[in-house]
Amino acid sequence: MSDQRNTNADIVHKARFISGHAMKIPTLRVLQQNGKIYRNAELPDIDQELALKIYDTFLFIRALDERMLASQRQGRISFYMTETGEEANDIGSAAALHPDDIILAQYREQGALAFRGFTVDEFMNQIFSNEKDLGKGRQMPIHYGCDRLNYYTISSPLGTQIPQATGVGYALKAQGKKNCAICYFGEGAASEGDFHAALNMAALLKSPVIFYCRNNGYAISTPAHEQYAGDGIAARGVGYGMKTIRVDGNDILAVLLATQQARKLAVEDHEPVLIEAMTYRLGAHSTSDDPSGYRSRKEEDLWRKKDPVARMRHWLEAKGWWDEEKEKSTLEKYRADVMAAMKKAEKVPAPPLEDLINDVYETPPWHLREQLDALKGHIRQYPDEYKKTAWRLNDE
């Protein structure tokens, strides 16, 4: 077996320790907050049609998040997570991909799903876990999945999608497909062992995967400076021998440019790529979280001035592609669409209880059928306790 160690390294004769603090990975930025392009900046491949589709998705997600947050506070849904302030990351990177590329999301990438064509009714059906939900009501709200859009179902355990993405990319390469996988996760998930195993395997196997880290400064309430001592997450990609880039995650043009070039590396050269996007979560981690306990209003206000949606709007207006009237009418339309879809989804019946064990095995085994019968008996014994259950018995 050949020795894969670096035998061409410089030889020294005195002890010299290397510190990562001596090397700082730069951040790619193309678009200023006022909508002007930096001088000599490299631009992504983008035309008016793509730009407007991206911005249209921005406004839809803002309307969706706004309405669903209010609905959770009203007790109409149990749980929700907004992506306010981070929209440029999943929407901008999804815009750089081919529809046949596979998306493995964490749980704050509803924008990528919307960009690919997930309808407002499909969003509502999943959130309300009704019988039209593609997941058959078996997941918490926002745990989306859609086979036709090549968007793998979200899983709550942190970081599980990262090694899965390595395997998906390797399968695409083995099948000879000219596609890649993209895997989203936060800097908190990058502290999981799954992250390290996945990157090492991907680099070694040349798996065509784009690992997209949204570094929004907090793993729920834990600030980044308490998570790692090195130069962020990007430095780890370099350590694993992987092509790596850091971008301003609030700059839609920087995100699009980096992901377009990352996809080319992944598909043409079978090179895994790590993108670290520096951004900020303007909302709470979830509806179960109160960010006032771990960050200041001053800090939030500072990042509101870096809003990625406003930044792109300034750029569009400067090019004559957008104006105040379009902004107002589009937002009003999406708010009305979300409200109408929500009212409709609330009235759709819950899934039958049998759906709990369907689609796990080709034929449900005896022990699952036995457990289902026991559950039905329990519900019939205590009907008043289950009047508001999301599931229904077939005989009701």
CA distance 73 to 214: 27
Please give the structure tokens belonging to residue 373.
Answer: 């019968």
Kindly give the pairing relationship between strand 218-219 and strand 222-223: antiparallel
CA distance 396 to 393: 6
Collect all residues with Cβ–Cβ distance below 8 Å to 351 and sequence separation of at least 6.
129, 130, 131, 133, 136, 137, 390, 391, 392
Q: What is the residue type of 392?
A: R
Catalytic residues: 281, 285, 294
In a 3-state reduction of DSSP, which class is residue 147?
coil
What is the enclosing helix (H) or strand (E) of 230?
none
SS (HEC) of 318-343: HCCCCCHHHHHHHHHHHHHHHHHHHH
CA distance 328 to 84: 18
The gap from C-alpha 259 to its chain's centroid, in whole angstroms, comes to 14
In a 3-state reduction of DSSP, which class is residue 139?
coil
Q: What is the residue type of 303?
A: W
The gap from C-alpha 309 to its chain's centroid, in whole angstroms, comes to 17
Edge-first strand order for the sheet with 27-28 is 27-28, 243-248, 273-278, 209-215, 181-186, 102-104, 151-152
CA distance 378 to 389: 13
C-alpha distances out from residue 133 to 140, 152, 170, 194, 216, Å:
11, 15, 30, 30, 30
CA distance 84 to 297: 16
CA distance 247 to 28: 4
